[in-house]
Chains A and B, each alone.
Chain A
Amino acid sequence: MRSTSFLWNVCKSSFTFGLIGLTVSDRVASVVPVRGLSMSPTFNPPNNTSSGLFTDDHVLVEKRCLTDYKFSHGDVVVFCSPRNYKEKQIKRITGMPGDWISVPSSYDAVRIPEGHCWVEGDNPTDSLDSRSFGPIPLGLIRGRATHVLWPPQRVGKIDKKLPRSGLSF
């Protein structure tokens, strides 16, 4: 009799903690690994010879920004890829609505429409970003990366670095 009520209490507590964890992960913050080199040297700098689960950078992605924050230049965001809704990508916002972005392949300047943003990776040579698929709607964004949590020697806040090139006025 006592062991079943103890088991029941353990079940209830783990269910409650599981729910709390799920809600926090959905609405407050979660930890995600970063794969690929499109954001070198901010994430996964080229010193790593092998990339696996333990050598990928892990970042803290906060989700409070989705309700009452205004995104701005330099934010690193996680968003659903516009080409493949099942994938998530992480890039830096380099243009906000109303900005003009000079596309190197053509002589035109692209104006970012209302409700969209221009994202680029910090490593332009190895990055599939808005230069390929154009501006993305802000509704695709799933969170904002604020801190690097792994590896321990690079734990710290992520800077809001403004892009070097491109015109925005």
Chain B
Amino acid sequence: MKGRRLFTYSGGSVISNSEFIWMGMPNTIMKMFNKSIVFGLVGITVTDRYAGVCPIRGSSMSPTFNPSLESFTDDYVFLEKFCLDKYKFSHGDVVIFSDPTNYKERCVKRIVAMEGDYVSNVNGAVKVPEGHCWVEGDNSAFSSDSRTYGPIPLGLIRGRVTHVIWPPQRMKKVDRRIPQEGFAF
């Protein structure tokens, strides 16, 4: 249809095919620009509200994430945010939450106890208040978690980790493992 003919009439004057292609260029660029804006917005909305990918740093969750200190790259995990609507968290979920000591940073730990449970801490038994949960890292020796800063409000949670997606040899679903020690009753 367009551009097939060698010469085109435009406003009474004759223009060649190559000139016609040049005239159409800004239109194509505008279309590509529009499409990339829409895709960018869709990406932002999906990452904010539904699911995302993020790297894990540190060894507080060894061996679930970053099992060795000499790995070249950090583990990347897939996190889902559908859980934030209904807040159906339970024991054993690995969650990402805002650090209570520094709200600009995020931490990843496992939920060990929910509201109403009693947790044995160094200072005695602590009851987790309503609206809060108790988180601990899988690597107890190197983890600063609820044993340091106490139970965290559920409102701090930003997402739940479901899968490890990098490196390829350790791609798998993250288990909801109940920790062996600690009392939850």
Which residues of A are interface residues toward B (Cβ below 8 A)? Answer: 15-16, 19-20, 22-23, 26-27, 79-86, 113-116, 136-141
Given the interface contacts A82-B131, A83-B131, A136-B153, does A20 sit within 8 Å of B41 by beta carbon? yes
Given the interface contacts A16-B38, A82-B132, A115-B99, does A137 sit within 8 Å of B45 by beta carbon? no
Instruction: Pick the contact of B100: A27, A84, A85, A115 (CB < 8 A).
Output: A115
Given the interface contacts A23-B41, A83-B131, A115-B99, does A137 sit within 8 Å of B153 by beta carbon? yes
A15 CB contacts on chain B under 8 angstroms: 38
Instruction: Pick the contact of A19: B41, B101, B129, B154 (CB < 8 A).
Output: B41
B101 touches A114 (CB 8 A): yes
B155 touches A114 (CB 8 A): no
Given the interface contacts A26-B48, A82-B153, A83-B131, does A115 sit within 8 Å of B41 by beta carbon? no
B131 touches A141 (CB 8 A): no
Instruction: Pick the contact of B45: A22, A83, A84, A85 (CB < 8 A).
Output: A22
A115-B101, A137-B98, A140-B155 are known; give 5 further A-B pairs, CB within 8 A: A15-B38, A19-B41, A26-B49, A85-B153, A140-B156
B155 touches A80 (CB 8 A): yes
Instruction: Pick the contact of B44: A23, A113, A137, A141 (CB < 8 A).
Output: A23
A23 touches B130 (CB 8 A): no
B49 CB contacts on chain A under 8 angstroms: 26
Nearest CB of A to B165, in Å: 25
B99 CB contacts on chain A under 8 angstroms: 115, 139
Instruction: Pick the contact of B103: A20, A22, A137 (CB < 8 A).
Output: A137
B100 touches A116 (CB 8 A): yes
A83 CA to B129 CA, complexed, in Å: 8
A23 CA to B38 CA, complexed, in Å: 11
Say whether B102 faces chain A, with CB atoms less than 8 Å apart.
Answer: yes
A138 touches B38 (CB 8 A): no
B98 CB contacts on chain A under 8 angstroms: 137-139
